[in-house]
Chain A
């Protein structure tokens, strides 16, 4: 007899716990204010979806004169744990006609970068920063190799006269 009672008591208990769970889902079903899902491609242009510090990619900020802060010292290349950065330098004359070494190409392999942030931290002139772009999917892997200094750009420390001579 007690077996039968236990059998039905178990069913009752099971239904009760089931009800407790269903009540929560039901509560969210009827309260639209608590919706947390976002429609991804649609909200992209409506609001900023990543924070200001988001590590999307390494970029080199340029000012309005197309000048950057990179001296071509190569410290970032040395500190990168996986060879994502290659520095190619060249020699050009400065205002006194002396040959100086400047950056030619700052090559950044986004496909290899682990976003450790060491390059940005160690740069003595703060030439690098994080960019907030995160939609990096491409069909061709070579597109992920970027040259960070823009064409025709120059180091801020050099005089503008030589910049013209260079270009």
Chain B
């Protein structure tokens, strides 16, 4: 706590205060950063949030458990499928519903496809933030392939609401496995392009290496999870430390970098995409025939008590906390969203850097604003 407080300075008269956002393109949404500047050097960053607050947690109190699922799409819209899964897993664990094997493996494949799509979008936008517009087109081109797989199976490209407590809304398209494997082959070929276009670019490296260094202690103190935390050597991959679904039966590595700068966070995501491809390859073969959903009552009532479920989204650890009083609506729902914690570390790691570097740092944290405000 003391570390958090000491980072907020007393303002002086000659300080220059500038608002970055809420319409700034590099904040990727409606986020306002109040910057205290001395010259061009950032002395303090105060994030102001709430511009896109929709009260999702309160809305959940008036929705049944099946209805809650579609609201979680609207938090971190780039990890929509993984958010859905968090609520579904919570209900399934609470009621001890045995989910069919087929569903478990389909969910893993979809999780990883979502993760890759999310990282591709981040990669595109990060390049664009730093002035490399070319990257944007290449990232979008490959993301389109994943969105086509999504569209073919669930009819929507971004917010699919495809999970439901007990399984899936309907079965995946018969071509799902084939197209997923085709994508893996395709994207393996295209990944070296990403390296040549951006990773190895000397301008890009100079703008990210050594910028916004976050120590492991800071990451833990602020609860920075996901690739941003792992770039600082904080081992926080929920898929490894508290496996859900069938992640414990699949082989993959947790990517850890020790440097903690923007480039380390960048590299974690690049390597994670490769790991995700490996996971998809293993899981696709294991999709067996079978039902796409378990038997679930039309009206789900959780027994009285408290429930918690966490999953690893593309940005970090998402926790769902539900208090139930035995009725068909939950008594209280709370989401521990990864972006909220990741945002507030910005003040600590951006101080002393230039404004242009702030864009590089906030981009490397990969923030999605609706997830912060909920």
Contact surface of A with B, Cβ cutoff 8 Å: 10, 13-14, 17-18, 20-21, 23-25, 36, 50-51, 53-55, 79, 81, 114-118, 121-122, 130
Name A23's closest neighbour in chain B (CB-CB): B196
Give complex CA distance A10, B261 in Å: 22
A36-B141, A121-B169, A122-B298 known; A130-B197 Cβ under 8 A: no
Shortest C-beta distance, A121 to chain B (Å), equals: 6
Q: Per a CB cutoff under 8 Å, which of A20, A51, A122 touches B200?
A: A20
Give complex CA distance A146, B73 in Å: 26
Q: Does B70 contact A (CB under 8 A)?
A: yes
Q: Are A53 and B152 in contact (CB under 8 A)?
A: yes
A53-B152, A53-B153 known; A24-B70 Cβ under 8 A: no
Contacts of A53 in B (CB 8 A): 151-155, 173
Name B74's closest neighbour in chain A (CB-CB): A114
Q: Are A14 and B203 in contact (CB under 8 A)?
A: yes
Q: Does B161 contact A (CB under 8 A)?
A: yes
Q: How many residues of B contact A (CB 8 A)?
A: 32
Q: Are B203 and A24 in contact (CB under 8 A)?
A: no
Q: Does B304 contact A (CB under 8 A)?
A: no
Give complex CA distance A53, B169 in Å: 13
Q: Does B71 contact A (CB under 8 A)?
A: yes
Name B194's closest neighbour in chain A (CB-CB): A24
In the complex, 15 of the A-B residue pairs with CB atoms within 8 angstroms, ordered by the A residue number, are A13-B202, A21-B196, A21-B197, A21-B201, A24-B197, A25-B134, A51-B155, A54-B155, A55-B155, A55-B156, A81-B71, A114-B70, A117-B169, A121-B164, A121-B169
Give complex CA distance A121, B169 in Å: 7
Q: Are B197 and A14 in contact (CB under 8 A)?
A: no
Q: Per a CB cutoff under 8 Å, which of A17, A114, A122 touches B201?
A: A17
Known pairs A53-B151, A53-B173, A121-B169 / 7 extra A-B pairs, C-beta < 8 Å = A17-B202, A21-B197, A21-B198, A36-B141, A36-B144, A50-B151, A51-B152
Contact surface of B with A, Cβ cutoff 8 Å: 63, 66-67, 69-71, 134, 138, 141, 144, 148, 151-156, 159, 161, 164, 169-170, 173, 193, 196-198, 200-203, 298
B contacts with A: majority SS: helix
Give complex CA distance A30, B197 in Å: 17
The tally of CB-CB contacts under 8 A between chains A and B is 67
Q: Per a CB cutoff under 8 Å, which of A14, A54, A81, A122 touches B202?
A: A14
Shortest C-beta distance, A10 to chain B (Å), equals: 8
Q: Are A54 and B161 in contact (CB under 8 A)?
A: no
Q: Are A17 and B200 in contact (CB under 8 A)?
A: yes
Contacts of A13 in B (CB 8 A): 202
Q: Per a CB cutoff under 8 Å, which of A18, A81, A130 touches B70?
A: A81
Contacts of B69 in A (CB 8 A): 116
Give complex CA distance A36, B140 in Å: 10
Shortest C-beta distance, B274 to chain A (Å), equals: 19
Give complex CA distance A101, B66 in Å: 29
Q: Are B134 and A81 in contact (CB under 8 A)?
A: no
A24-B197, A53-B154 known; A116-B70 Cβ under 8 A: yes
Name B206's closest neighbour in chain A (CB-CB): A14
Shortest C-beta distance, A3 to chain B (Å), equals: 17
Shortest C-beta distance, A33 to chain B (Å), equals: 14
Shortest C-beta distance, A12 to chain B (Å), equals: 10
Contacts of B198 in A (CB 8 A): 21
Contacts of A130 in B (CB 8 A): 155
Name B67's closest neighbour in chain A (CB-CB): A81
Give complex CA distance A25, B201 in Å: 14
Q: Are A115 and B161 in contact (CB under 8 A)?
A: yes
Give complex CA distance A116, B71 in Å: 9
Give complex CA distance A122, B169 in Å: 10
Name A75's closest neighbour in chain B (CB-CB): B298
Contacts of A18 in B (CB 8 A): 201-202
Shortest C-beta distance, B74 to chain A (Å), equals: 8
Contacts of B141 in A (CB 8 A): 36
Q: Are A81 and B161 in contact (CB under 8 A)?
A: no
Contacts of A50 in B (CB 8 A): 151
A21-B201, A115-B159, A118-B66 known; A54-B151 Cβ under 8 A: yes
